[in-house]
Protein backbone atom coordinates (compact mmCIF):
# COMPACT_ATOMS: atom_id res chain seq x y z
CA UNK A 1 0.00 0.00 0.00
CA UNK A 2 1.34 3.45 -0.88
CA UNK A 3 1.68 6.04 1.84
CA UNK A 4 -0.49 9.12 1.61
CA UNK A 5 0.86 12.51 2.50
CA UNK A 6 -0.31 16.09 2.49
CA UNK A 7 2.03 18.91 1.61
CA UNK A 8 1.32 22.19 3.36
CA UNK A 9 2.94 25.36 2.04
CA UNK A 10 2.11 28.89 0.98
CA UNK A 11 1.83 28.83 -2.82
CA UNK A 12 3.26 32.00 -4.41
CA UNK A 13 0.64 31.87 -7.20
CA UNK A 14 -2.19 31.87 -4.67
CA UNK A 15 -0.51 34.59 -2.64
CA UNK A 16 -0.14 36.75 -5.75
CA UNK A 17 -3.69 36.23 -6.93
CA UNK A 18 -5.04 36.90 -3.42
CA UNK A 19 -3.53 40.39 -3.44
CA UNK A 20 -5.61 41.55 -6.40
CA UNK A 21 -9.01 41.58 -4.61
CA UNK A 22 -7.43 43.42 -1.66
CA UNK A 23 -6.74 46.31 -4.02
CA UNK A 24 -10.17 46.31 -5.68
CA UNK A 25 -12.40 49.35 -5.11
CA UNK A 26 -14.88 47.48 -2.88
CA UNK A 27 -12.24 45.97 -0.60
CA UNK A 28 -12.71 46.52 3.11
CA UNK A 29 -9.09 45.70 3.88
CA UNK A 30 -8.52 49.01 5.65
CA UNK A 31 -10.89 47.97 8.44
CA UNK A 32 -9.17 44.58 8.85
CA UNK A 33 -5.50 45.53 8.67
CA UNK A 34 -5.38 46.53 12.31
CA UNK A 35 -5.96 42.91 13.29
CA UNK A 36 -3.45 41.29 10.94
CA UNK A 37 0.11 42.63 10.74
CA UNK A 38 0.90 40.63 7.58
CA UNK A 39 -2.22 41.96 5.83
CA UNK A 40 -1.20 45.46 6.83
CA UNK A 41 2.23 44.85 5.33
CA UNK A 42 0.73 43.50 2.11
CA UNK A 43 -1.61 46.45 1.78
CA UNK A 44 1.08 49.00 2.66
CA UNK A 45 3.43 47.51 0.07
CA UNK A 46 0.97 46.82 -2.78
CA UNK A 47 -1.52 49.62 -2.08
CA UNK A 48 0.26 52.04 -4.39
CA UNK A 49 -0.63 49.70 -7.28
CA UNK A 50 -4.38 49.70 -6.59
CA UNK A 51 -4.95 51.36 -9.98
CA UNK A 52 -2.78 48.84 -11.84
CA UNK A 53 -4.28 47.48 -15.04
CA UNK A 54 -4.49 43.98 -13.49
CA UNK A 55 -6.66 45.29 -10.64
CA UNK A 56 -8.79 47.31 -13.06
CA UNK A 57 -9.30 44.33 -15.35
CA UNK A 58 -10.08 42.06 -12.40
CA UNK A 59 -12.70 44.60 -11.27
CA UNK A 60 -14.24 44.55 -14.74
CA UNK A 61 -14.26 40.72 -14.66
CA UNK A 62 -15.92 40.66 -11.24
CA UNK A 63 -18.65 43.06 -12.31
CA UNK A 64 -19.39 40.80 -15.28
CA UNK A 65 -19.70 37.63 -13.18
CA UNK A 66 -16.17 36.37 -12.50
CA UNK A 67 -16.33 34.98 -8.97
CA UNK A 68 -13.75 34.64 -6.22
CA UNK A 69 -13.81 30.84 -6.55
CA UNK A 70 -12.92 31.20 -10.25
CA UNK A 71 -10.13 33.61 -9.31
CA UNK A 72 -8.74 31.23 -6.69
CA UNK A 73 -8.98 28.33 -9.16
CA UNK A 74 -6.84 30.16 -11.68
CA UNK A 75 -3.46 29.43 -10.02
CA UNK A 76 -3.94 25.69 -10.55
CA UNK A 77 -3.54 26.38 -14.26
CA UNK A 78 -0.38 28.48 -13.99
CA UNK A 79 3.32 28.05 -13.32
CA UNK A 80 5.00 29.95 -10.50
CA UNK A 81 5.61 33.69 -10.67
CA UNK A 82 6.97 35.62 -12.40
CA UNK A 83 6.40 33.53 -15.56
CA UNK A 84 2.82 32.46 -14.78
CA UNK A 85 2.82 30.29 -17.88
CA UNK A 86 -0.35 28.39 -18.66
CA UNK A 87 0.48 24.79 -17.65
CA UNK A 88 -3.01 23.34 -17.86
CA UNK A 89 -5.85 24.51 -20.08
CA UNK A 90 -8.35 26.69 -18.25
CA UNK A 91 -11.38 24.89 -16.90
CA UNK A 92 -14.72 25.46 -18.56
CA UNK A 93 -15.89 26.99 -15.28
CA UNK A 94 -13.18 29.67 -15.26
CA UNK A 95 -13.75 30.43 -18.95
CA UNK A 96 -17.50 30.67 -18.40
CA UNK A 97 -17.13 32.93 -15.36
CA UNK A 98 -14.71 35.20 -17.25
CA UNK A 99 -17.03 35.21 -20.27
CA UNK A 100 -14.43 33.80 -22.60
CA UNK A 101 -10.99 32.27 -22.78
CA UNK A 102 -9.54 35.42 -24.31
CA UNK A 103 -10.55 37.42 -21.22
CA UNK A 104 -8.80 34.89 -18.95
CA UNK A 105 -5.68 35.13 -21.10
CA UNK A 106 -5.80 38.94 -20.96
CA UNK A 107 -6.10 38.79 -17.19
CA UNK A 108 -3.13 36.41 -16.93
CA UNK A 109 -1.02 38.78 -19.08
CA UNK A 110 -1.98 41.69 -16.82
CA UNK A 111 -1.25 39.55 -13.76
CA UNK A 112 2.25 38.83 -15.12
CA UNK A 113 2.77 42.56 -15.57
CA UNK A 114 1.51 43.22 -12.03
CA UNK A 115 3.97 40.62 -10.77
CA UNK A 116 6.86 42.35 -12.55
CA UNK A 117 5.79 45.93 -11.82
CA UNK A 118 5.34 45.29 -8.09
CA UNK A 119 8.44 43.12 -7.66
CA UNK A 120 6.16 40.46 -6.21
CA UNK A 121 8.85 37.75 -6.26
CA UNK A 122 11.10 39.92 -4.09
CA UNK A 123 8.23 40.64 -1.70
CA UNK A 124 7.43 36.94 -1.47
CA UNK A 125 11.09 36.04 -0.89
CA UNK A 126 11.37 38.55 1.95
CA UNK A 127 8.42 36.89 3.68
CA UNK A 128 9.41 33.24 3.28
CA UNK A 129 10.16 32.89 7.00
CA UNK A 130 6.62 34.03 7.76
CA UNK A 131 5.14 31.64 5.19
CA UNK A 132 7.21 28.78 6.61
CA UNK A 133 5.95 29.60 10.11
CA UNK A 134 2.33 29.63 8.92
CA UNK A 135 2.79 26.32 7.10
CA UNK A 136 4.45 24.76 10.15
CA UNK A 137 1.56 25.90 12.36
CA UNK A 138 -0.97 24.48 9.91
CA UNK A 139 0.92 21.19 9.70
CA UNK A 140 0.89 20.87 13.47
CA UNK A 141 -2.87 21.41 13.57
CA UNK A 142 -3.63 19.04 10.74
CA UNK A 143 -4.98 15.77 12.01
CA UNK A 144 -4.85 13.12 9.35
CA UNK A 145 -6.84 9.95 9.65
CA UNK A 146 -5.93 6.82 7.76
CA UNK A 147 -8.09 6.14 4.72
CA separation for the pair 144, 147 (Å, rounded): 9
Q: What is the pLDDT along the chain (147 residues), one digit of tens a residue?
A: 566 677 888 999 999 999 999 999 888 777 777 788 898 899 999 999 999 999 999 999 999 999 999 999 999 999 999 999 999 999 999 999 999 999 999 999 999 999 999 999 999 999 999 999 998 888 888 765 554
Number of Cα atoms under 13 Å in the Cβ half of residue 54: 24
The answer to whether the predicted template modeling score (pTM) of the entire model surpasses 0.75 is yes
DSSP string for 40-90:
HHHHHHHGGGTTSHHHHHHHHHHHTT--HHHHHHGGGGB-STTT--B-SPP
Amino acid sequence: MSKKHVEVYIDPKVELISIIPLLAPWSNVSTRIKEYPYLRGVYNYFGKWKNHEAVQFFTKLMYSGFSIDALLGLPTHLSDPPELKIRVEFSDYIIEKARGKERVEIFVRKLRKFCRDTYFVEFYSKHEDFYDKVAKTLRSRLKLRPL
